[in-house]
Each structure stands twice: as C-alpha cells, then as structure tokens.
Structure 1
C-alpha cells in the first residue's frame, strides 16, 4: 500500500484524508497543535514576529506558554458564504449566519474531522522533509517527550496553510521605529482585539484583514483611522454597515507609505503628506510561502521564489513539476479554500494511483512558465480572480468524474452565480445587520427581507 504523508492537520489536511483513503492509500497527518482546526483555532496570545519580515525560510516560535498561535482574531466573520465553504456531503448547519463567525467554522471542521482523527499525529512538529533516495523521509518531534521519529512515504502533501509567516515589507526607518517604540508595530497575524488600541493608528493594506481590523479599531482609536492602500479593495468590508458619512468620519484612505520617521513618531507618505504622532501601525500586508521543513530539499530543488511569494515549477498550482510526488494544497489566493483543497486532493489521489496520467515534463513546465509570464513573479502568481477558482475547480472535478474514488460535488451554476456576486451579497448582509440587527442565514432570507433586489 502506497503511503501519503500530509504536513498540516488544519482544514486542508483533514479534508485530504477522506480523498486518499477512498483511493486506497495509507495516510499519516502531522500536526503540531494538540487539536484539529488549524487556522481556526483562536489563541489570545501571539508569538514574536520579526520586523521587517521578509524571510520565507524563517520559523516562528511557539508562544510564551508553548502554544502555536494562528492568524485568527476574536471577532472574525468570514468573507465567504457558508454555501461555498462546505465540502461534499457535509453542509453547514442551516441555522448559523450565512457568513459564519470563526467559532462556527471551527465547530464545523471539528465535526467533519471526527472520523479521521486517528490518522493524525497531534502535538508533532515536522523538523524536516527530504528525499535522499526514492522515498520521502519525514523527521518529526513529539513536542511532549522531545523524541525524534523518522517515517518514509511515497508521496508528500504540504497542507500547512498560507497564513503562518507574515510579510512586513522593509521601509526606511521601520526597524528603528520598532526598536524605539516596542509594541507599536504589529502584523494582522498578531491582532486579537481592538480594545488595546488608542491614539492615531495606521492600518497598511485593505484586503480582508485590513478592512476588518481598520473598522474594528475605529471603535477605540483616535478617529479617523488611517488606512494606507494601493488600490480599491475587491472585498466588501464591515464598514459597509455604516452610512457613508459615518465611514468617512471613522476611516480615511491614503496612499502608500514612503518612510517612518522614528525621531518624532511620524509617517511620511509617498505623496508628501506627513502623519504625526502615530501610536500604532498594523501591517495587513499578507504572508510569505513558508515551508522551513523542506529547506534542505529546496537547496537542490528550488521550491519557493526568491521573494517568497509563490511556489516555483508547479503544475496546476499544485504539483511539483520536477518531482510530482510532492504537492501543495490550496496554495492560491482569493479562492474557496475548503472546496479547492477537496477537489485537489481527489485529483491528486487519482494521479498517484495511476487513474489520471500527467502530461510530459515539458508540458507541465510550460503550464508554470505561461502562468509566470501572465501573472508575474510576485504574490499575484497564485491569484485566482473573478470566477477563475470556479473554472479551476470544474476542470479538476471533471477529471475525477470519469474515474472511481471519492467524487467531489459538482460546482453548480447556482454556486457559480453566488461566487460571482459575493460582494453584492455580503453588502446586503451587512445592510440588514446594520438596519435590523439580524445576521441572515441564506440568500432566500435576504431576498424575503427586501434585500438583494437585483440578485438573480
């Protein structure tokens, strides 16, 4: 029986178990936490993060109490409706909000994980993954006893997530600022709650975390909260539950930062504006690809771009071209991660058991190079925008449909329509919450309440 080693027991890793078992593989999952749930586990404390943070091979430590923290903050609601988050044959409870709270998602994942926990080695840190000969060798450490163990596998799935190693860009004066005013600079990964903020605060970035955090902080910090952005966000932020006048009073968008003047606690923008007396700066600037356990293998088989933004030589944003026995689950941005992880795992199982034949090496390499040319050598390489994730899902699901094994559910036209209109739906959801104090559970409920009049 062929063996699959999965690094990471969060949602993607747990979801993968079902797919590989269905195709007859022996599966072992390595998870450093004591429980499943991965990213969705909330910890009040956070570990120390370097500032700036630009090294993708750095390993973050555990917290002071020995826990492994995550990028989860206390009052997080999802930006994806539950109707697009669920996996095959396991829907969310119809009573929870359409855009679930973090605890809802954690409970959902824990319920799904229950039958598969026996395949997971919890409280186990993967020290290294390498391939000295024809087998992958995983060296892991039991975090209670400190004992090292070695295991061999035919295939490796990296499911350690996209939200571990923060990216904090380098700016003139930032390092000195952080040293002079300890605790005043943080990344969204370390953000937990807004009530610790006071005075003038700058949030850098306006993707999901930047939108959430700037709104939450505006209930406590000096107004308006300053938000440094490069372009308009493609996501609906919680500030849309405010009137336009209220939004303008609470959050002010400005351009990009040029430098930090640590001598007088001011931040200089590229357009020349100076923001004085800044108490806090929160970087919601994304994450680096982070697979420190594969660093030795990377030395002879490059896996991550020099800037740390994307996996290199990767076919279908999933399989390593040079050694297709190595895969990276749900590496893309702006996707439906649970569904994508499921269809990728089902497709991988068929590739590795021989039901799906891969193209020649040069064809797979061309797939990578074509995307590199189109998307560039930055974080946008892994972006699946608009309905690209739907198309990607359907391509893999179509391959799976012609063979035996676990069958991911089809991505219906109704689902695709919801995916195309998530911003409209989330805005209506927030409008109703603002006006009625009700968190809707479905599209039908929103429409019956008089919202989403243009939704078809």
Structure 2
C-alpha cells in the first residue's frame, strides 16, 4: 500500500536534544512518505542540554548580557566542544521525578532514583533516540545551522559541518528545537560592568557553573532563588565561607537553607570594595564571586525572521507552536516551568499531523485571534511562555483535544495522556522536590562539618 503524500515533504529539524528527537520520531510515525526528515545537531553527540561536554572555563559571558545576538567570549584555545558546552553542571540531578519526565512509551529503567543525575538522563535520551525509525530520519552531528530563511517559498538552511565545509539545503518546512538554555541573561545593574572589567571572570551565570568545590573558602553571591539558584547555592554552602542569595521578596523566599544569608535585590556593585548595596540600603562586603541564576534569553541567530526581538519571547505564535502567518515554521519546547519530554511529544504530535496533511489548522485570522487572546491572558515578554502547574497540564490536555477533535489520535505518535494519576503526580512534584532539597541540605551540613567537598548523596 502506497503512503499518502504529505503537506510538506522535506522537513529540517534544528537541534538534536529531547525536543528535536521527539519531533523526528513524531514525523517518522506518520502514515505518509516524507522525502526528508533531517535533524541537525551542532555538537558531536545528541542529547541537547543533558549531554555534558566541553570546558566551560574557556567561555565567558558578556556582562551585562541583554542582547540575544551578542554571543559569548571564547578563549583562543577553545574548541568547538567548548563553544557549544551544555548549561548543566557536574553534580546536577533533575528537579522533576523521572516518572513525570518520561516520554509516553519509554519509561526510565526500573530502579532509577526518583531524581536521576544528569548522566542517567543522557543515557535515557540516547535510548529514546534508538526507538526512532532511523531508515526515515537522518541525524547529522557536528552540523551547525547558520541560516534559516524562506526564499521563493522554499526554506534555505545553511549548515556548517565540522567547521570545514558549508552547504545550503532546501526544505518545505522547518522545526526549531534548539532549546532556550544557550544565551544567558545578566541584567544591567549599576557598577556591574566595571566590576567585570576590573576583576575578570568573577561575574558569571549559572550556565558557566561547573562544581561548587572550586569555591572553597570564598564569599559567593548568588542572584536568584529559582530552581538553579536553590541548587547551586545549596551545593556552594558545603565549601564556601559565606553564601548570599539575592531574592526579589524577602517575605516570600520559597525554599530556604539556614547555611545561607538571604538579601534583597542588588542596586549597585562596587568593585573597589568588592561590595554590593541592596534595595533596602544594606551593604555586603568582600564578595569574591557573583553567580547570576537569572535565566536565559531566547536566541536563534540563524533564523532570518523578526519573531525574535529583545529575546524575552518568540512572537506571532499559534498555540505556542506555529508561526501564525507561515505554519511551515514551528517551534518545540519554548515553554518554561514545564516537563520537557511530555511537552515535546505533545507539540510534536500536533506538528507531525499538520505537516503530514492530516490535521487542519484554523484560518490565519483565527490563529491571530488565538495569539492575541494568549497575550491578553498571559502578558507579553517573559510571561508569555511561563507555565507551571496547573497551566502546563491544561496545555498538554488542550493539544491532545485538538488532535482528538479531528479523530487523529491514531495512527501516529501519541503523547502522554494526562489522566488523574499523572495529574496528581504533577500536583505534588514540587512538594516531593522540596523534601529532596531538605535531604540535600542535611547532607551538605554533614559534609561541611567534616570539611569535605560536595558530592551527591549515594
């Protein structure tokens, strides 16, 4: 039996991490014959964020870092692996249980710790990649996409291979799955750039953090107390002389570690005194290192489009996925405070059904109205992509409803179905992680009392 012809025959996927792999699998499982499903990964291995490789110490941020196109500053001896290092760090474990993180038909191996460390997640992603029908998908590593542009109704994709050769390939549709943990956001605060100029490499971002044990005996200021801020400051409190954490609201700190002193927002940096002045007028001296845990900017320097502007959001999106005016351009996993693997499958399942010609999108006007409604409800800028429970579960369910309303649940990739059991697990995930963090704090106190370096508890 001959497969039907798809709406878009040649598909390029930018990024070989959890999102890009989910998109490739979803396309490969469609009951149509695509001419090409090509995944481009600029690093030497798949895995995206979870592939921990490269020497972070050779790459430095601009300070401040507020331009999504500014790039980074590399030392002369930095290799390609160093340039494209991952933002995860040595002692990183997940902040979501592995049962929630799983792709639908691919659970983590039995016996996996609730919050697996980074190497276990990377192995899991490798195993998932092995389930993709590879006779239908081409994954190119060491392939850096430098330009994506629509020219005469065809998407031109420029690809550099191993920094040696370059080619221009043509596609009918493009899926952007390059992640949003590449370009660090470091705000412009009085005195910060002068500090960085006079005490080089003492201002960094969580992206460049590798191990707490290099900060033994130092006074470290961490900016931010969200997931990375909590984790990094907890690890640092094992060996640092003093850890300060700057938060927006001292009355609503969230998780706290009594080895840490919490202070309010920093309004001024003074490199001569190595001091900071907070919003309330307090001064804190003798600071050796400042680590910004302040998130990332959306950055797609290869994309010749105005959907990225200041870097706080991607514009003109229908359902956080489809470009309103040209749905042959789609995005996977732009959302924040979500569960990346299930999100990627939910979005990719819808994209694949549309690209194959099975799913029918509403008109441009309806897509525009939907986008404007989302903007009105969520707000523009950094708020637009911010979800979290229960909004994320509602979103996953909504995408599945869109598919089901057109009678398209099968055949094709089916994302996790958010029944009562899975939704309950999501609802208590924050509480469960809070208990794990308290275990880590108790572990840190023991290590500190014994003068030992930080390591994850066995």
TMscore range, shorter length: 0.7 to 0.9
Among 71, 92, 96, the residue aligned to 1:59: 71
Q: Is the 8 A contact 1:261 1:267 kept in 2?
A: yes
Structure 2 portions without partners, runs of 5+: 445-458
Q: Is the 8 A contact 1:174 1:260 kept in 2?
A: yes
Structure ranking higher in helix proportion: 1
The residue aligned with 1:303 is 307
Could you give the per-residue CA deviations for residues 344-381 of structure 1, whole angstroms, max 9, x where no partner exists? 01101112223222112122112222222232222111
With 386-395 and 401-410 compared, the bigger mean Cα shift is at 401-410
Q: CA deviation at 1:389?
A: 0.9
SS at match of 1:406: coil
Q: CA deviation at 1:136?
A: 0.5
Q: How does 1:238-387 map to 2 (within 5 A)?
A: 247-248=257-258, 250-294=259-303, 297-298=304-305, 302-304=306-308, 306-387=309-390
SS at match of 2:418: coil
Q: Is the 8 A contact 2:108 2:124 kept in 1?
A: yes
With 382-391 and 168-177 compared, the bigger mean Cα shift is at 382-391
The residue aligned with 1:98 is 114
Q: Is the 8 A contact 2:18 2:48 kept in 1?
A: yes
The residue aligned with 2:197 is 179
Q: Tell me whether 1:10 sits opposite 2:17 in the alignment.
A: yes
The residue aligned with 1:28 is 38
The residue aligned with 1:191 is 209
Q: CA deviation at 1:279?
A: 0.5
Q: Tell me whether 1:86 sits opposite 2:92 in the alignment.
A: no
Q: Tell me whether 1:226 sits opposite 2:244 in the alignment.
A: yes
Could you give the per-residue CA deviations for residues 245-296 of structure 1, whole angstroms, max 9, x where no partner exists? xx32x112111110111222111111101111111100000000010001xx
SS at match of 1:183: coil
Q: CA deviation at 1:234?
A: 9.6
Q: CA deviation at 1:143?
A: 1.4
Among 116, 123, 136, the residue aligned to 2:155: 136
Q: CA deviation at 1:430?
A: 4.7
In 2, the alpha carbon distance for the partners of 1:17 and 1:252 equals 46
SS at match of 1:169: coil
Q: Is the 8 A contact 1:400 1:407 kept in 2?
A: no
TM-score (normalised: structure 2): 0.87
The alpha-carbon distance between structure 1 residues 196 and 288, as it changes in their structure 2 partners (threshold 3 A), is same
Q: Tell me whether 1:415 sits opposite 2:408 in the alignment.
A: no
Could you give the per-residue CA deviations for residues 40-78 of structure 1, whole angstroms, max 9, x where no partner exists? 111352122111111112334777133120101000111
The residue aligned with 1:445 is none
Q: Is the 8 A contact 1:289 1:310 kept in 2?
A: yes
The residue aligned with 1:41 is 51
Among 187, 194, 197, the residue aligned to 1:169: 187
TM-score (normalised: structure 1): 0.87
Q: CA deviation at 1:219?
A: 1.0
How well do the aligned residues superpose, as a CA RMSD in angstroms? 2.2
| Count of residues in correspondence between the two structures | 420
Could you give the per-residue CA deviations for residues 176-223 of structure 1, whole angstroms, max 9, x where no partner exists? 100101121100000000011132211001111100111111111123
Q: CA deviation at 1:428?
A: 3.4
In 2, the alpha carbon distance for the partners of 1:183 and 1:328 equals 34
The residue aligned with 2:453 is none
SS at match of 1:110: helix
In 1, the alpha carbon distance for the partners of 2:171 and 2:278 equals 51
Could you give the per-residue CA deviations for residues 313-363 of structure 1, whole angstroms, max 9, x where no partner exists? 111111111111111101000001111011101101112223222112122
Q: Is the 8 A contact 2:354 2:360 kept in 1?
A: yes
Q: CA deviation at 1:434?
A: 7.3
In 1, the alpha carbon distance for the partners of 2:203 and 2:189 equals 13
In 1, the alpha carbon distance for the partners of 2:253 and 2:323 equals 31
Q: Is the 8 A contact 1:59 1:292 kept in 2?
A: no
Among 395, 399, 422, the residue aligned to 1:396: 399
SS at match of 1:396: helix
In 1, the alpha carbon distance for the partners of 2:441 and 2:285 equals 33
Structure 1 portions without partners, runs of 5+: 240-246, 438-456
The residue aligned with 1:110 is 126
With 226-235 and 377-386 compared, the bigger mean Cα shift is at 226-235
